Structure 1
Amino acid sequence: MPHSALDAPISPLRQRLIDDMTLRRFSQETQCIYLRDVGRLATFLGRPPDTATADDLRRFQVWQQDDGVPVPTMNSIVSALRFFFTHTVDRPDLARKLVRLAHPRKLPVVLSRDEVARLLNATTCLKHQAALSVAYGAGLRVAEVATLKVTDIDSERMLIQVERGKGGRYHNAMLSADLLTLLRQWWIAGRRQGVMHRDGWLFPGQHPMKPISTRQLHRIVVEAAQAADIAKRVGPHTLRHSFATHLLEDGVDIRVIQVLLGHAKLDNTALYAKIATRTVRAVTSPLDRLGLFKPGEISPDG
Structure 2
Amino acid sequence: MTPLRKKMIDDMVVRGLSENTIQSYTNAVTGLARHYKRSPDRIEPREVQDYLLFLLRDRELAWGSCNCHRHGLRFFYRITMGLPDPHFYIPGAKQPKRLPELLNREELVRLFSLTVNRKHRAVLMTAYAAGLRCSEITRLQASDIDSSRMLIRVEQGKGNKDRYVPLSPRLLEELRDYWRRCRPEGWLFPSPIAGRPLTRHGVSRIYRTASKRAGIEKAGGIHLLRHAYATDLLQAGVALHDIQRRMGHTSPRTTMRYLHLAQGGDRSTPSPLDLLELPELPNPRRG
TM bin, normalised by shorter chain, reads 0.7 to 0.9
Partners of 1:66 and 1:190 lie apart in 2 by 48
CA shift at 1:156, angstroms? 3.1
For residues 1-302 of structure 1, what are the structure 2 equivalents within 5 Å?
Answer: 10-23=1-14, 24-27=16-19, 29-43=20-34, 47-50=38-41, 54-62=45-53, 64=55, 67=58, 69-70=60-61, 71-93=63-85, 97-191=89-183, 196-197=184-185, 200-274=186-260, 276=261, 278-279=262-263
Partners of 2:213 and 2:87 lie apart in 1 by 47
Amino acid paired to 1:270? M
CA shift at 1:75, angstroms? 1.4
Partners of 1:95 and 1:138 lie apart in 2 by 45
**59-68 or 36-45: which moved more?**
59-68
CA shift at 1:213, angstroms? 2.2
CA shift at 1:15, angstroms? 1.0
Partners of 2:58 and 2:190 lie apart in 1 by 42
TM-score by length of 2: 0.80
List alignment gaps of at least 5 residues for structure 1: 1-9, 281-302
- Are residues 170 and 90 of structure 1, via their aligned partners in 2, closer, same or farther at CA, if it must alter by over 3 Å? farther
CA shift at 1:242, angstroms? 0.3
SS at match of 2:30: helix
- Are residues 154 and 83 of structure 1, via their aligned partners in 2, closer, same or farther at CA, if it must alter by over 3 Å? farther
CA shift at 1:180, angstroms? 1.8
- Are residues 94 and 165 of structure 1, via their aligned partners in 2, closer, same or farther at CA, if it must alter by over 3 Å? farther
Partners of 1:58 and 1:128 lie apart in 2 by 43
CA shift at 1:129, angstroms? 1.2
**108-117 or 85-94: which moved more?**
85-94
SS at match of 1:167: coil
- Are residues 62 and 246 of structure 1, via their aligned partners in 2, closer, same or farther at CA, if it must alter by over 3 Å? closer
SS at match of 1:106: coil
List alignment gaps of at least 5 residues for structure 2: 265-287
Deviation track 1:99-128 (CA, whole Å, cap 9, x = no partner) reads: 111131332121112321221111122111
**226-235 or 250-259: which moved more?**
226-235
Q: Is the 8 A contact 2:155 2:163 kept in 1?
A: yes
Rg larger in 1 or in 2?
1
Q: Is the 8 A contact 1:123 1:220 kept in 2?
A: no
CA shift at 1:132, angstroms? 0.8
CA shift at 1:150, angstroms? 1.5
Amino acid paired to 1:17? M
Partners of 1:231 and 1:67 lie apart in 2 by 26
Match of 2:281 in 1: none
Match of 2:268 in 1: none
Partners of 1:215 and 1:208 lie apart in 2 by 17
SS at match of 2:159: helix
Deviation track 1:175-207 (CA, whole Å, cap 9, x = no partner) reads: 12222222222222222xxxx22xx11001112
When the two chains are superposed, the root-mean-square deviation of aligned CA atoms in Å is 2.6
- Are residues 161 and 89 of structure 1, via their aligned partners in 2, closer, same or farther at CA, if it must alter by over 3 Å? farther
